[in-house]
Amino acid sequence: MNEPSLRTIWAGAAVLGLVGYAAARFRRWLVLPALALIAVAVWMQLGDLLDPHVGPAIMQEAGLWYVGQAGAAAALAVILCVVGLAPRRAP
């Protein structure tokens, strides 16, 4: 089973985070579907790690660094999304 490269994971997280940021700036309530989309993407990407048979194999092949980087990329996507909720400055 091939796991996506770290470059792909970081790029996907950045894109999802920026889309979530833009959505939250457009309409505040759009942060909820954006966060749901990020959650689905993270689950699809990292859900195999929870499998008792596949998870240890992925950890052995990809290493703990890979899992940490994937988690950090997911956190970046969520943070970018939530930052979009910050109040706008007055002109």
- Read off the pLDDT of residues 69-90 as tens digits, 9 standing for 90 and up: 999 999 999 999 999 988 887 7
Nearest-angstrom CA–CA distance, 80 and 91: 23
Given this model, what pLDDT does residue 27 score? 92
Domain-wise residue ranges, the chain: 12-83
Dihedral (C-alpha) 47, 38, 13, 15: value to the nearest 10 degrees? Answer: 150
Given a cut of 70, is residue 1 above it in pLDDT? Answer: no
Which of the two residues, 52 and 91, has the higher pLDDT score? 52
